[in-house]
Amino acid sequence: MPHTFSRRDTLKLFGAGAAAAGASAIQPKLAWAAQQRSPTPSAAQTEEDQRESQSRAARLAWWHAAKFGMFIHFGLYSLYGHHEWAMEEEGIPVAEYEQLAKRFHPRPGCAREWARLAKRAGQKYMVMTSKHHEGFCNFASKLTNYCAPEQGPGRDFAREYVEAARAEGLRVGFYYSLMDWHHPDGARCATDPAARERFVAYTHGLIREIMTNYGKIDVLWYDVAWPLDAEGWQSVKMNQMVFGLQPEIIVNNRNLLPGDFSTPEQEIEAAAEGRAWESCMTMNDSWGYQRADDDWKSPKTIVSNLVECAQGGGNYLLNIGPTGDGSVPSESIATLEAVGRWMEDNGPTIYESERCKVTTSEMAGFTRKDKTLYVHVHFWPGNTVAVGGLRTKVLSARMYTTKQPVEFHQQEFRVQFTGLPDHPPDPLATVLEVECDGEPLQDTRWVRENRPRRGIGI
């Protein structure tokens, strides 16, 4: 069998997989950051830690409430239409790839269309690629002419994007790839100290530009740190600069420091309680536009993913990959609009919800606000919906959208909601609102160990 080297392998090699997996096990070099702290924290450090966690909680408050954001991958690869890794994976020579920059002409107003779409979908913030691995900058830069105003677009596209998001009342984020396939020092900085010095200065300089020239930025979303480690990138200094310029911003963990939140990619994996996290996901299988990728997720899958993120106390950052002129694929528009209609009716069961300790059902997902449990039934079973192992007393139940009361019968091992319609009132997910006498808790293990099995114990 010939050895095939997949993109996943490449990502591993480039450190993205590790970064995506969270900050803890990432890199031996992270030990460097940890070593900065003494093993037994002094009183001063404890105070400092406390201040830091208070600041983090305050900075994250809007984002926790928001739950749902739009990711936008937009660059020269959008014009090429073969996925954002095409330059690397198809082995395109830099000089050939660069030609795309002259032909890149986003339609005026397309960023506003994205922002309107995000708003219709019920998304509360946007994160757009300011520079992806290809190295092209969507923003105005004094450090490179490989940027929107000096190439095909002929204008500062990042400004248009920021203004569009604000006009729709959405929070604004920039994605920024540390890895750069275009800059001559982007790879050789791994082994050449002079190149490293130049490239790290260039990187900090570009980040300074996006953190300085666009007013208040709410999220900085670093990506792929290859080929350096946190020490090489001077990530501590990088974050200090960012917080100096944008004191209220939140940053992710992909410059190989823990940052404010973790970034599971293409999967939903809740972080440990107390740690903020956001699952980013594509609507088909590509981040950047790939014209033949027809592997679209359904609106039902997306609603169920959003519920699953909210259940675990996390956010869902859902990607669109517009074409080179900025048009969003019609499949993405239709799906986001369907999700938006569902959010119009059911949004309050998602926004501002808290981590929920009811997790197990093959037909439903769960969210929670204080003592209220929301049962999001994706696969409607007919007139009775049952939840096993609920250890909290149910006080009342009703259909969320119509407020119609629902009968329920609670016994030791299950609660049944009865007298429901035979067909799902909402095919994406029908929500039951269940008032409990405390924080809703589920213990399926307890059911497994205690439910009588014809008198046979385990």
Q: Where along the sequence are the contacts to ligand GLC (CB under 6 A)?
A: 11, 16, 73, 84-85, 223-224, 265, 280, 287
Per-residue burial over 98-109, b = 16 or more CB atoms within 10 Å of its CB, e = otherwise = bebbeebebeee
Residue (265 or 426) nearer to ligand GLC, CB = 265
Residue (85 or 400) nearer to ligand GLC, CB = 85
Cβ neighbours around 258 below 10 Å, total: 18
Residue (268 or 377) nearer to ligand GLC, CB = 268
- Dihedral sign, CA of 98, 99, 102, 106? negative
**Which position's Cβ is nearest ligand GLC?**
16
Residue (276 or 377) nearer to ligand GLC, CB = 276
Q: Cβ of residue 249: shortest distance to ligand GLC, in angstroms?
A: 18
Q: Cβ of residue 265: shortest distance to ligand GLC, in angstroms?
A: 5
Q: Cβ of residue 235: shortest distance to ligand GLC, in angstroms?
A: 17
Residue (287 or 351) nearer to ligand GLC, CB = 287
Q: Cβ of residue 167: shortest distance to ligand GLC, in angstroms?
A: 25
Residue (256 or 390) nearer to ligand GLC, CB = 256
Cβ neighbours around 44 below 10 Å, total: 8
Query: Quick one: which H or E segment has residue 430?
Result: strand 430-436
Residue (290 or 367) nearer to ligand GLC, CB = 290
Residue (139 or 287) nearer to ligand GLC, CB = 287
C-alpha atoms less than 13 angstroms from C-alpha of 154 in its C-beta half-sphere: 6
Strands 68-72 and 125-131: parallel
| φ/ψ of residue 318, rounded to 5 | -105, 130
Q: Cβ of residue 15: shortest distance to ligand GLC, in angstroms?
A: 9
Q: Cβ of residue 198: shortest distance to ligand GLC, in angstroms?
A: 24
Q: How far apart are CA 84 and CA 69, in angstroms?
A: 20
Q: Cβ of residue 441: shortest distance to ligand GLC, in angstroms?
A: 33
Q: How far apart are CA 62 and CA 173, in angstroms?
A: 13
Q: How far apart are CA 356 and CA 336, in angstroms?
A: 25
Sheet holding 430-436, edge to edge: 364-369, 372-377, 430-436, 394-399
Token couple for 168: 């729709």
Strands 250-251 and 219-223: parallel
8 A C-beta contact, residue 209 and residue 139: yes
Token couple for 175: 């994605």
Q: Cβ of residue 268: shortest distance to ligand GLC, in angstroms?
A: 14
Q: How far apart are CA 141 and CA 129, in angstroms?
A: 15
Give alpha helix (H) positions in 176-229.
185-188, 193-212
Q: Cβ of residue 73: shortest distance to ligand GLC, in angstroms?
A: 6
Residue (85 or 199) nearer to ligand GLC, CB = 85
Partnered with residue 366 across adjacent β-strands are: 375
8 A C-beta contact, residue 365 and residue 350: no
